[in-house]
Amino acid sequence: MRRARREQAVPDRRDEASAVPAERGSTHVVESRLTGPVRVVGVGLLGTSIGLGLRARGVEVILADASPTHVAIAVDYGAGRAPAAGDEPELVVVCVPPDVTADVVAAELAAFPNAIVTDVASVKAPILAALRERGADVSRYLGSHPMAGRERGGPMAGRADLFVGRPWVVAAHEDISYRRAAIVDDLILDLGATLIEMTPEAQDLAVAIVSHTPQVVSSLMARRLVDAPESALGLAGGGVRDVTRVAASDPGLWVQILGANAPAVAEQLRAFRDDLDRFIEALDDPAAPGARRRIAEELAGGNTGVERLPGKHGVDRRFVALTVMVDDRPGQLARLFEDVGAAGVNIEDLRLEHSPGAQIGLAEIAIVPEARERLIEELAVRGWRIAG
């Protein structure tokens, strides 16, 4: 993995790019390094968001889609203009469903012999292999994968800021030159994303581990709830909600994603199943010698794994949690955060919990440990009730 080739090469530009999110509400247009028009093929959530983001940087955007209605909506939305005869895009971004991405990339490479073509599908190696197989000019193709999405799809869900602060993988390969690849970096940095360079194989393994396998595990866990007694669901707490949250994802899209990355995901699921088999065996005779030790070791392995996740979510040892009771009415959270801010404490993470029927919720805020005692005191003085 190599991070942000362009960031390193052009530090002043990086400063500009990272300055954008810091200026809240800014409408200042920072000029793009992209000079020619960018053609976006497929104006769903990602394509429309890319168009909106580039338009905000003053880039000329051409919007193409199998559905003229979608193009019309995206044009009205300000994401670019409809295609015209003689269009000569500098860059083509293919944002169509995974199943047809290779076909569309090949067609765009053929239609625009001077353009660099990228795509945003979540699995990269099969697309590159398919293009090579059919003799497409991969010296002008560089696949990429933005780690961004929303529950809602379609052009109306598009947002200029969808990619800001998100990782965006560039799936580097040997057949495209450094000079040609730079335009894909420009696209990514223009949209405020964090560029991460990996081989297609490394990226596909990475998403198998951190995205596709968790999706399958979450869906299969949620399936257990289908026949659960109503009374059991009444006891559901934050744990099962967390584990099953992504199980709400669109099966139609995920069939395509999992199909494209099937070998890598199946390998992860097989390793998961091996652990599961050992676990079930231990549970079937928990009094057997070593059974409890095996259970404890599997659980401790989970501790180790979750500690490896970076960032502010999950178990982050840099922060401690404080749970504050909040009345369930407008303005209460505002009062809480005002009081926390007034104490000079930054909220690093936050979760809200609310039991059915209760008049109050619990706001769990993560803060730096050294602020904990002081904040407890300050909040108590202001009448807040600390639940933990």
In the window 70-109, what residues touch its own copies (CB under 8 A)? none
> Between residues 110 and 248, which has the closer beta carbon with respect to its own copies?
248
How far is C-alpha 42 from the chain's CA centre? 19
352-379 per-residue burial string, b: 16 or more CB within 10 A, e: under 16: eeeeeeeeebbbbbbbeeebeeebeebb
According to CB under 8 A, which residues from 143 to 182 bind its own copies? 147, 150-152, 157, 159, 161-162, 164-167, 169
User: Using the rule CB under 8 A, which residue among 123, 125, 189, 336 binds its own copies?
Assistant: 336
Q: CA 76, CA 64: separation in Å to the nearest integer?
A: 14
For residues 116-145, which are near its own copies according to CB under 8 A? none
Residue from 209, 372, 376, 378 touching its own copies (CB under 8 A): that is: 209
Residue 70 corresponds to which amino acid? H
Q: Select the residue interacting with its own copies from 358, 370, 374, 377 (CB under 8 A).
A: 358
- Closer Cβ to its own copies, 134 or 179, answer by number: 134
| Nearer CB in complex with its own copies: 82/247 | 247
Least Cβ distance, residue 89 to its own copies (angstroms): 27
User: Could you tell me which residues come within 8 angstroms of residue 259 by beta carbon, excluding any fewer than 6 positions away?
Assistant: 98, 99
Q: Going by C-beta distance under 8 Å and a sequence separation of 6 or more, which residues neighbour residue 288? A: 282
Q: Is 142 helix (H, G, I), strand (E, B) or coil?
A: coil
In the window 23-52, what residues touch its own copies (CB under 8 A)?
A: 24-25
By CB under 8 A, which span of 82-90, 112-120, 135-143, 191-199 interacts with its own copies?
191-199
Give residues 253-272 in contact with its own copies (rule: CB under 8 A): 254-255, 258-259, 262-263, 265-266, 268-272
Rounded Cα distance, 116 and 109, in Å: 8
Return the residues of window 362-381 that contact its own copies according to CB under 8 A: 362
Contact status: 387 vs its own copies (CB under 8 A): yes
